[in-house]
Chains A and B, each alone.
Chain A
C-alpha cells in the first residue's frame, strides 16, 4: 500500500440544482486496483463514474490523476463501457474496432482506405478472436445479442490502452450465465493490461467476485422531509482478498447490511 495513489479524490461534492447527490467523497486508489462500486439506486454511483470520466464537472472538490487535475473533458486515457449505447450502430463490428486507429491516422477524413484499412482490420483480428466475434465481424451491433454487444464495447473501450477503465453497470442487462463468461473475459483483460478498473454494479456478488476493493456509496444522514438535502459518500471501503477460489458466497454481507440507513420494508 506504499505505492503513490494514481487517483486522488478530495472533498468531492456534486449537486444538480438543489439536489445534492454526492457529498464529501475522499478516496485514494492505487494503479491496478479493481474497484467495484455498489449502493442503492440513485445514490450517485453513476454520477461518481461520470465525474471520473469528466463527463461532468464536480460542484466542489477535486479529482487528481497521477498528481494532476483531471482534464475537463473525456480523453483516451480513460475508457468507458456504458450499459447501453456504447458501440456505434452504423458501423459493423470490425469497423467499430478500427475506429480508434482511423481517428489517429486520418486527421481530416477520420477514415482509412485501401491497404491501410486492410491493415487496420488485420490488426484487430486477435481482438475479434478474443471476444469471440470473428464470425460476426461484418454484422451491425443491432444484429448482435446483448452479451456480444457488451464484449464489443469492452474491446472497443480498451483500444486506446486506457490507464483507467470505467464500467457503468456493463452487465446489468445480461443473463446470469453470460455474465459469468463476461467476468472471465474482463478479469483476464484486467490482469493482462494492469489498468485500474472502476465498475458500478447492482449485483453485490459480482462486486465481491471481481473487485480487489469494494466501495459502498450511501447517505450518512437522512432528512425524511427533504430527501435531497444530503448527498451520498463512501460509507464502506472494503479491501477484498484476491483469493477467488476460496471466496465463499455465504460469508458475504448482503447489500442490506451494508446500507444500514435504508428503511427496511
Chain B
C-alpha cells in the first residue's frame, strides 16, 4: 500500500513521535561526554546529571539570600504576567474581532488601523512602555498585549468574516436581532477560532515575556536565564529553557483539549494539530 494511505497505530504513532526527542537527547549526551573527556570542568555542555542537580536545587532548595524557592517563584511570576497579558489580549481580540468582522462600518473604521498597528515591531515599543508605565508589572503585561492582540484581532475578525453569509441570513429570517446573531451565531462559531488565535498568540507572547523580564525585572523565568548567563551557568539555563518549553507545551495542549471538549462540533471533520 502507498505510504500516504497507511496510518500508524497508536503505539507506533507514539514511538514515532518519541524518536526525534530521543535523537536530540542522545546527540546532546554524546557531545557533552566528548567535551568533558577533554575538559572535566567544561561549562558549555554540562552533563544531564549536572543539569538535573541544578534543576533540583532551583526547585527544592531555598535560595540562601532570599529564602525563596526560585524555580517556583520565577514560574509563578512569569505565568502571572503571561496570563494577565493573554487574558487582556483575548478580551480585546474577541470584542474588536467580532465588531470588525461582523459590522462593515466598524471594519472600515478600524481594520486599516489594526493592520498598521500589528506591523509595529512590539519590542521597539518596550522603551516607551518603560518610560510611561515604569519598570513594574504593567509595562511587561502591556508589551505582551501590544505584541499579541493586533494579530489575534485580525485572526478573529477573519474567522467572523469566514462564517458563511448564508448562516447570517438564515438567522435573520428566523427573526434574530443583531445582538442575538452575535451571541447565538457569530460568537459560538468564533470561539474555537479564538482558541486557535490564543494558541498562536502564545508563541510570541513568551518571546515578549522573556524579553521584558530580561531587560528589567527582579524575578521571572526570563530574568533568571539572563541573570545566570553572567556565570555561564548552562546547567541552569538549559533546564530553564526546557521548563519554559514544557509549560508552553502543556498550556497549548490544555487549550486544544478545551476546544475539543467545549466545541465538539468544530472537531467533527478531520484531524487538527
Contacts and interface: CB of A to CB of B under 8 A. Distances in A.
A79 interface: yes
A160 interface: yes
Given A88-B185, A90-B263, A76 B175 contact: yes
Contacts of B170: 80, 82, 86-88, 156-157
Interface string A36-69: 0000000000000000010100000000000000
B207 to A, nearest CB: 33
Interface in A78-98: 78-80, 82, 84-91
Contacts of B189: 88-90
Contacts of B245: none
Contacts of A90: 188-189, 263, 265-266
Contacts of B265: 89-91, 140-142
A107 interface: yes
Contact of A80 (B164, B173, B264, B268): B173
The interface size bin for chain A is 35 or more
B151 to A, nearest CB: 25
Interface string A83-120: 01111111100000001101110011111000000000
Q: Is the interface of A mostly helix, strand, loop or mixed?
A: loop
B185 to A, nearest CB: 7
A80 B168 CA distance: 12
Contact of A74 (B172, B177, B184, B263): B172
Contact of B180 (A74, A84, A103, A142): A103
25 contacts: A53-B169, A76-B174, A78-B173, A79-B173, A80-B169, A80-B173, A82-B166, A86-B167, A88-B170, A90-B189, A99-B171, A99-B184, A100-B174, A100-B175, A103-B171, A103-B177, A110-B176, A110-B179, A110-B183, A156-B170, A156-B174, A157-B170, A157-B173, A160-B173, A160-B174
Interface of B: 164-167, 169-177, 179-180, 183-185, 188-189, 263-266, 268-269
Interface of A: 53, 55, 73-76, 78-80, 82, 84-91, 99-100, 102-104, 107-111, 140-143, 156-157, 159-160, 162
